[in-house]
Each structure stands twice: as structure tokens, then as C-alpha cells.
């Protein structure tokens, strides 16, 4: 396994869309299954924890960093599309927007909503990512996982109790290696148009170019977290370098070299203000690592 780059003491800020995070004790970005298996075995031998990162688009990492191995899956890529059956097999490091574009180009519809979500397939499955009343689990047939003990399992969708931005993998972590999706055939040009319209809508309504992790809080359904925060006049409010977006108040922007401490203080402040005014405790959607 000479080709694996196992690096020590590397800043994780370049591995999250918030551009926040201290050093990983160790980090590796495997490209194939042999490398992943080798790395899992290596962590077991060394008795160190293994923490999985996709595109880091839903992660707040402690400025103090993370012990053990950070296993970044974003180089584990591959997509196979069977147009006639509408079946897509995709490796977990593939990006959701790439998959949405490829499905659209193949005349398969179902993933038009996914084009603006900057995460990997693995992260999307774990988070049950979604938008516009759709979510990834609606289109899943099965996933293949690897446990930290080195066992493969194929899990059918019906055996995974998905919920709103929830999968059981959040409580019982393992490595998502791949997913099989089933889409329907449609009119290629219409699918492409809808995909583009969805992305343009996001570009208009979200601080898409800023350093964020998307929505910080889960919506307290049927209410919207963004609306509650906006009604309190909190848009633009800052803690250190972290700022509540002026465009979408459920987004926190890394406006000026924000630390994980700044973001957590701002999260606490929002939670307090919302709770004091509405009696609702906003829960975070973003996953916090190393705290
Ligand atoms: C601008 C912007 C817009 C967004 N819009 C949306 C939206 O509309 N809807 C939505 O749902 N989300 C949205 N998000 C949040 C985020 O993109 C999703 O939650 C995405 O699915 C996270 O994927 P990721 O690869 O970045 O996962 P990460 O953030 O890297 O990780 C998230 C969790 O998944 C785990 N994980 C990641 N990959 C694997 C794997 N292969 N195996 C096992 N565990 C894994 C991690 O350990 C962690 O617990 C947005 C984010 C941004 C920055």
C-alpha cells in the first residue's frame, strides 16, 4: 500500500466548506477499497479512532483538531448508470451535484433538487440530504457499508429508518462505500432545465459563494428556523468572525476568520433568543466534531 498518503498534523480547515477546523492527528484520502480497508485495519492496530469526512459541507470541526485518523472520502469516486433500468451505482465520494448532472444528461429524473447541495453521496446518505420536499432516501435502493471491524454489508432502504435529515447511520457510524439509486426515465431537456432552474434559485436565495455549511438548524416543523431567526431581527448579527447571513438567516457565514468557538457562541445565542421568544429549542443540523 505504498501509494496511500497518510499525513500527520494537517489543518482540517481546507476539508470543510466553513473553512474552520484545527489539525487532524492523521488524515488520508483513499481512492479505492483496498486503501480504505488498509486504513481501517491500521486504525484498529494503532487503537486510534477513525472519523469520516465527506465534502465537509455539514461539519463544524473544533479549532483544537481531531485525534486519530480523519478518513476523507472525497477521492473515492465512480458512477455507473444503466439508463434503461434507471439504476445508478455510485461510490460514496462522488459529489451530489455531479451525480444530479449526470442523471439529467442520461434523461433520468428524480435528482433535479440535488444539484445545489455541495456534499458527497456518503454524506448525503448519512444526513438524508434533501430539498424541495425530496430527499436522497426517496431514491435509494440500497447502500453498501464497511464496518470499523472490516465487515461489508448491503443494507436495503427498507431496513434503514430514514427521517427528516436523519439516518440511523448517525447513531451507529460505519463507512458508506456506495449507494444504488433508482430513477425514472424522463424528458432529458426538461430535466436539464429544471436542474438549472433549481441551481439558479439557490444562487438567488442563499449565500452560495460564502463559507457556510448550509442550514445550521433543523426546521422545527412545520415552522422554518430561518423565519424565526429573521423575525427576531438577527440577520447580520455577529459573534467574532461568524455572522448570521443577511441573505438566509439559517446560514452562518465565516465572515472573517471565524473560529469554531465563534460559531458555537453564535449558535448558542440564536438558540437562547429563539427559545426566549417562542419557547422553541432549535436543534442543530450541522454535525460537530472534536468537542
Ligand atoms: C451552500 C450549502 C447548501 C446546502 N444545502 C443543503 C440542502 O439543501 N439540503 C441538505 O440536506 N443539506 C444541505 N447542505 C448541507 C450538506 O451539504 C449536506 O448535509 C451533505 O449531505 C453533507 O455531505 P458531506 O459529504 O459534505 O458530509 P460531511 O459534512 O463531510 O459529513 C456529514 C456527516 O456524514 C458523515 N459521512 C460523510 N461521508 C460519509 C461516508 N462515506 N460514510 C460514513 N459517514 C460519512 C460524517 O462523518 C458526518 O457525520 C448544504 C451545505 C452548503 C454548504
What number is the average pLDDT over the span 203-223? 95
- Same-domain check for residues 252 and 157: no
- Same-domain check for residues 109 and 191: yes
What number is the average pLDDT over the span 160-165? 96
Identify whether 57 is part of a domain: yes
What number is the average pLDDT over the span 244-251? 97
- Same-domain check for residues 127 and 51: no
Q: For residue 195, is pLDDT > 80?
A: yes
Looking at residue 4, its pLDDT comes to 86
Catalytic amino acids?
165, 215, 285
- Same-domain check for residues 95 and 195: yes
In CATH, what number is assigned to the domain containing residue 185? 3.30.465.10
Looking at residue 2, its pLDDT comes to 59
What number is the average pLDDT over the span 141-156? 97
What number is the average pLDDT over the span 167-187? 97
Q: For residue 136, is pLDDT > 90?
A: yes
- Same-domain check for residues 104 and 177: yes
Identify whether 216 is part of a domain: no
- Same-domain check for residues 198 and 254: no
- Same-domain check for residues 254 and 142: no
In CATH, what number is assigned to the domain containing residue 52? 3.30.43.10
Identify whether 108 is part of a domain: yes
- Same-domain check for residues 109 and 188: yes
- Per the CB < 8 A criterion, the answer to whether 246 and 235 are in contact is yes
Name the residue with cell 449526470. 102
Looking at residue 3, its pLDDT comes to 77
What number is the average pLDDT over the span 262-277? 98
Identify whether 283 is part of a domain: yes
- Same-domain check for residues 128 and 48: no
- Same-domain check for residues 134 and 182: yes
In CATH, what number is assigned to the domain containing residue 254? 3.90.78.10
Identify whether 245 is part of a domain: yes
- Same-domain check for residues 139 and 47: no
What number is the average pLDDT over the span 110-136? 97
Q: Which of 152, 176, 205 is the last residue of a domain?
A: 205
Percent pLDDT > 70 in the chain is 99
CA of 277 to the centre of ligand 1 (A): 30
pLDDT tens-digit series, residues 12-54? 999 999 999 999 999 999 999 999 999 999 999 999 999 999 9
Looking at residue 169, its pLDDT comes to 97
Could you identify the atom of ligand 1 that is nearest to the CA of residue 129?
11
Could you identify the atom of ligand 1 that is nearest to the CA of residue 55?
26
Identify whether 218 is part of a domain: no
Q: pLDDT band at residue 65, thresholds of 50, 70 and 90?
A: very high
Q: For residue 103, is pLDDT > 70?
A: yes
Q: What range does the domain containing 15 cover? A: 7-72
Q: Which of 72, 97, 115 is the last residue of a domain?
A: 72
Looking at residue 1, its pLDDT comes to 59
Looking at residue 35, its pLDDT comes to 97
Q: For residue 9, is pLDDT > 80?
A: yes
Arithmetic mean of pLDDT over the chain: 96
Identify whether 241 is part of a domain: yes
**Which residues does a 6 A CB cutoff place in the pocket of ligand 1?**
17, 52-59, 73, 92, 117-120, 122-124, 126-127, 129-131, 165, 175-176, 206, 208, 212-214, 287
Q: Which of 72, 104, 126 is the last residue of a domain?
A: 72
- Same-domain check for residues 57 and 84: no
Identify whether 220 is part of a domain: no
CA of 285 to the centre of ligand 1 (A): 10
For the chain, what is the domain count? 3
- pTM value is 0.97
Amino acid at each position: 500500500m505504498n501509494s496511500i498518503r497518510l499525513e500527520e498534523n494537517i489543518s482540517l480547515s481546507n476539508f470543510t466548506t466553513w473553512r474552520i477546523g484545527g489539525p487532524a492527528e492523521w488524515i488520508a484520502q483513499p481512492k479505492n477499497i483496498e486503501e480504505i480497508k488498509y486504513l481501517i485495519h491500521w486504525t484498529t492496530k494503532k487503537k486510534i479512532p477513525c472519523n469520516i469526512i465527506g465534502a465537509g459541507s455539514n461539519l463544524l470541526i473544533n479549532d483544537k483538531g481531531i485525534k486519530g485518523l480523519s478518513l476523507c472520502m472525497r477521492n473515492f469516486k465512480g458512477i455507473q448508470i444503466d439508463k434503461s433500468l434507471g439504476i445508478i451505482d455510485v461510490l460514496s465520494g462522488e459529489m451530489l451535484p455531479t451525480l444530479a448532472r449526470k442523471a439529467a444528461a442520461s434523461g433520468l429524473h428524480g435528482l433535479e433538487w440535488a444539484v445545489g447541495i455541495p456534499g458527497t453521496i456518503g454524506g448525503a446518505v448519512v444526513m438524508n440530504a434533501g430539498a424541495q420536499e425530496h430527499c436522497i432516501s426517496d431514491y435509494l435502493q440500497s447502500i453498501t457499508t464497511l464496518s470499523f471491524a472490516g465487515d461489508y454489508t448491503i443494507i436495503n432502504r427498507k431496513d434503514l429508518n430514514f427521517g427528516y435529515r436523519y439516518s440511523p447511520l448517525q447513531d451507529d457510524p460505519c463507512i458508506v462505500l456506495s449507494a444504488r439509486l433508482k430513477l425514472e426515465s424522463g424528458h432529458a431537456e426538461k430535466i436539464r432545465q429544471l436542474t438549472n432552474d433549481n441551481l439558479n434559485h439557490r444562487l438567488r436565495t442563499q449565500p452560495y459563494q460564502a463559507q457556510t455549511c448550509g442550514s445550521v438548524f433543523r426546521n422545527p416543523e412545520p415552522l422554518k428556523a430561518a423565519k424565526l431567526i429573521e423575525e427576531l431581527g438577527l440577520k447580520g448579527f455577529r459573534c467574532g468572525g461568524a455572522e448570521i447571513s443577511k441573505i438566509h438567516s439559517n446560514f452562518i457565514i465565516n465572515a472573517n476568520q471565524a473560529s469554531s468557538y465563534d460559531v458555537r457562541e453564535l449558535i448558542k445565542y440564536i438558540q437562547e433568543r429563539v427559545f426566549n421568544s417562542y419557547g422553541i429549542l432549535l436543534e442543530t443540523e450541522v454535525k460537530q466534531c472534536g468537542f
